[in-house]
Amino acid sequence: MFRKSNIGRGKFVAERKSLDERIVAAQDELKQRENHLKELIQKQKQADRNARTKRLIERGAILESLLNEPESLTNEQIKTLLQRTVGSSYGVNMLAKIRALAGETAAITPETVQAGGV
């Protein structure tokens, strides 16, 4: 009868161990990349929030600079004012013109609007 030889068995065990180690290393690398991706997504979300906060502050400051005694108005009154002015046909047309000219001019100023350029 023939007997199985154990000569190649050690090589098989070593290869199996090597593959297992490579799998563990690949899984660790995958976890690190997933964590890095999560960090990048969080940074992007924070950057978006910061940009929005800055935009809200700047636009609020612009609005307050145009109102007489803005501290005497409630938020509801300011909301009503904006709804009625921006929602009017004049406001809608003005916004459409401003958006249409946005690519053509560096800045649209009050003087341009009053002169009929917008």
Q: Which of the pair, 98 or 10, is modelled with greater confidence?
A: 98
> What is the C-alpha to C-alpha distance for residues 102 and 99, in angstroms, rounded to an integer?
5
Q: Is 113 helix (H, G, I), strand (E, B) or coil?
A: helix
> What is the C-alpha to C-alpha distance for residues 57 and 67, in angstroms, rounded to an integer?
16
What number of other Cβ atoms are within 10 A of residue 61's Cβ? 10
pLDDT, tens digit, 9 for 90 and up, residues 45-86: 999 999 999 999 999 999 999 999 999 999 999 999 999 999
- Is the pTM higher than 0.95? no
Per-residue pLDDT, 92: 92
Q: In the structure encoding, which two tokens stand for residue 20, read together?
A: 């297992």
